[in-house]
Structure 1
Amino acid sequence: MEREYTATVVQSTGSWYRLRSDSGEWVEARIRGKLRLRGSRSTSPVVVGDRVDYRFDARGEAVITDIRPRRNYIIRRSPNLSKESHIIAANIDQAFLVVSLFSPSTSYEFIDRFLVTCEAYRIPATILLNKIDLARTRPQELGEFLETYSLAGYRVLTLSAADGEGVEGLRELLAGRTTLLSGNSGVGKSTLVAALEPGADVRTGAVSEFHHKGKHTTTFSQMYPLSDGGFLIDTPGIKGFGLLDIGADELARYFPDLMRFAPGCQFYNCTHVHEPGCAVQQAVREGGIAFRRYESYLKMLDEDEKYRK
């Protein structure tokens, strides 16, 4: 019988995968056809962070034969096919969402969709506000952003990857853990990876002056081993984050700020939209919940309804 080995997927190009074996060896592998069928609802059945079994075929090429059960993953609706899913990465200890207020601007709704998905799959999430030097020039917008997510209960770290501000403190939070780094194109993810791990082979790019949008510098997900221990998963820039398999009746559960007030609602099945005696709506009026967060909740209820049928 052919011998099987176990490894972690550290890079995915869509057709070939780079593996890091448990003995520390690097292996280039492809997947077997049956795995493609099993992952038919996903744009890729094997993702970075997966633990996989593999063997060498008669030609000496490594072939992934099975995927070990995932303890968690980050998933979104595929941007092109509403019934398809796109798993970004698997087996994650924590997720860091890199955002910027300017050049480019990250929308609140995008942030909230990402956070909802992390809550649904029980992955601790932290917001990294990059390009803080630019944000400080607009103190009102900066203050509103920090207050919004402080009220929601999320940790927000401010930094400037280009200047090194805040990078050392972030490095300490990554040690010994597998961390997903995600965000829109142009927010500085690749620059941040290069600052955190200078030896990493990371391409960086500028922001388009015409559209004020980021140019894609990472074309596939990749996991980098960190000098202080642990791994950092850098992902391609994401434009949208469609929710998947989260019903309208459970969406509010993944907004921690809404759930703090929900027990005070008059009706146990309150949707926090039109019911009388809604403690959540009252908290929004009184400033206990940031209006932008509540607005994101309403948009998700409305815009994603067609995908929940």
Structure 2
Amino acid sequence: MLDGVIIKALSGYYYVKPLGEDGAPIDSESSVQCRGRGVFKNRGISPLVGDRVKYVLTENGEGTVTEVLQRETELIRPPMANARLAVLVFSLKEPEMNVQLLDKFLVHIEQAGLTAIICLTKSDLVDEKSEQKYKEIIELYKKIGYEVIRTSSKEGLGFNELKEHLAGEISVFSGQSGVGKSSLLNAMMPGLALETNEISMKLGRGKHTTRHVELIPLDNGGFVADTPGFSQLDFLEIGVEELGDCFREFREYSGGCKFRGCTHTHEPGCEVIRAKIDGLIAESRYQHYVQFLEEMKDKKRRY
């Protein structure tokens, strides 16, 4: 049997990229169109994009997936396996960085159990007047514990650093629209030469295409996926009581709250509120937490 990873699942077929003995994709070999074994359906097993699999070649030049190996992670939306890294792509300018949206993405990434890297594009467009503001934002997220990488397609800044993090990993890319994700992917993968529209069509984000996830192999053993599912960010899969834990810096203090199930909004003896008052938790992050909490409660009432 051969080793591979599913890079696309469409219309009952699994497109499997062959892997070498070291677990890295074999660049010289294209993906193999495979069917799944009938027993998968009987056992309730649904192979996902990102699954490491065993497969055999059939006489017609296609293949059959015979075994799905144990998953490290599993995302429900978008449906994919073994992603451990999420790259959140936000621009500093054009469009202006949306910090509230960044925090919303981070909540979903934390809940999914992935490691987040914040990638800030269009660094060359930042003028001296705005530089200090962005430095403070970057320092805030670094202090919380997030990796933050500034990039510029024009100056070739940050791409090698980001690519090093992606080596050997299955990574999901999400973030604001119009922030230069296509330029970022092109810079990391010379020869890809995809325009924004082409990437959108290829990865299922076009308005008139089937929304599906597809992995693109990097030349360092990693795979990159665009993730249409994360763009919905509706909080329906996160419990109200889980939200506080999705704010990484809250965890240090929430265990000391006087009341079990503390919402960190009004309760006496709340250590998170105390930390916010003492400047140990940023006011912006706390306000976003309160906004998200109200949004979640409102959605729960309506559903």
TM-score under structure 1 normalisation?
Answer: 0.75
CA contact (8 A) 1:252 1:259 kept: yes
Could you tell me which residue of structure 2 aligns to residue 190 of structure 1? 182
Quick check: 218-227 or 96-105, which moved more? 218-227
Q: How does 1:34-113 map to 2 (within 5 A)?
A: 46-54=47-55, 61-62=62-63, 64=65, 67-76=68-77, 86-87=78-79, 89-113=80-104
The C-alpha deviation readout for 1:136-173, integer Å capped at 9, x for no partner, is 45235414422442342212111113431111222322
Tell me if 1:232 matches 2:230. no
Q: Give the structure with the larger helix fraction.
A: 2
Could you tell me which residue of structure 2 aligns to residue 202 of structure 1? 194
Quick check: 26-35 or 299-308, which moved more? 26-35
TM-aligned CA distance change 1:241 to 1:47, over 3 Å: farther
Q: Structure 2 unaligned segments of length 5 or more: list them.
A: 21-25, 205-212
Tell me if 1:29 matches 2:20. no
Tell me if 1:11 matches 2:16. no
> What SS does the aligned partner of 1:176 have?
coil
Distance in 2, matches of 1:30 and 1:105, equals: 45
Could you tell me which residue of structure 1 aligns to residue 209 of structure 2? none
The residue type equivalent to 1:102 in the other structure is K
Could you tell me which residue of structure 2 aligns to residue 42 of structure 1? none
Shift of 1:120: 2.9
Could you tell me which residue of structure 1 aligns to residue 163 of structure 2? 171
Distance in 2, matches of 1:141 and 1:217, equals: 36
Q: How does 1:137-286 map to 2 (within 5 A)?
A: 138-139=130-131, 141-200=133-192, 202-204=194-196, 216=200, 218-220=202-204, 221-227=213-219, 229-236=220-227, 239-286=231-278
Count of residue pairs brought into register by the alignment? 282
The residue type equivalent to 1:7 in the other structure is G
The C-alpha deviation readout for 1:203-234, integer Å capped at 9, x for no partner, is 3359xxxxxxxx9465333323333x321313
The C-alpha deviation readout for 1:29-63, integer Å capped at 9, x for no partner, is 35679759958xxxxx5543122455667866545
Shift of 1:257: 0.8
CA contact (8 A) 2:276 2:283 kept: yes
Distance in 2, matches of 1:182 and 1:14, equals: 25
Q: How does 1:111-150 map to 2 (within 5 A)?
A: 111-136=102-127, 138-139=130-131, 141-150=133-142
Q: Structure 1 unaligned segments of length 5 or more: list them.
A: 40-44, 77-85, 207-214
> What SS does the aligned partner of 1:296 have?
helix
TM-aligned CA distance change 1:264 to 1:291, over 3 Å: same
Could you tell me which residue of structure 1 aligns to residue 23 of structure 2? none
TM-aligned CA distance change 1:191 to 1:112, over 3 Å: same
The residue type equivalent to 2:272 in the other structure is V
TM-score under structure 2 normalisation?
Answer: 0.76
Distance in 2, matches of 1:16 and 1:105, equals: 41
> What SS does the aligned partner of 2:109 have?
helix
CA contact (8 A) 1:35 1:66 kept: no
Shift of 1:127: 0.5
The residue type equivalent to 1:73 in the other structure is E
Shift of 1:93: 3.4
Shift of 1:256: 1.3
Distance in 2, matches of 1:218 and 1:186, equals: 17
Shift of 1:242: 2.8
| Sequence identity (%) | 34
The C-alpha deviation readout for 1:97-138, integer Å capped at 9, x for no partner, is 111133234533432233223323432211111111224452
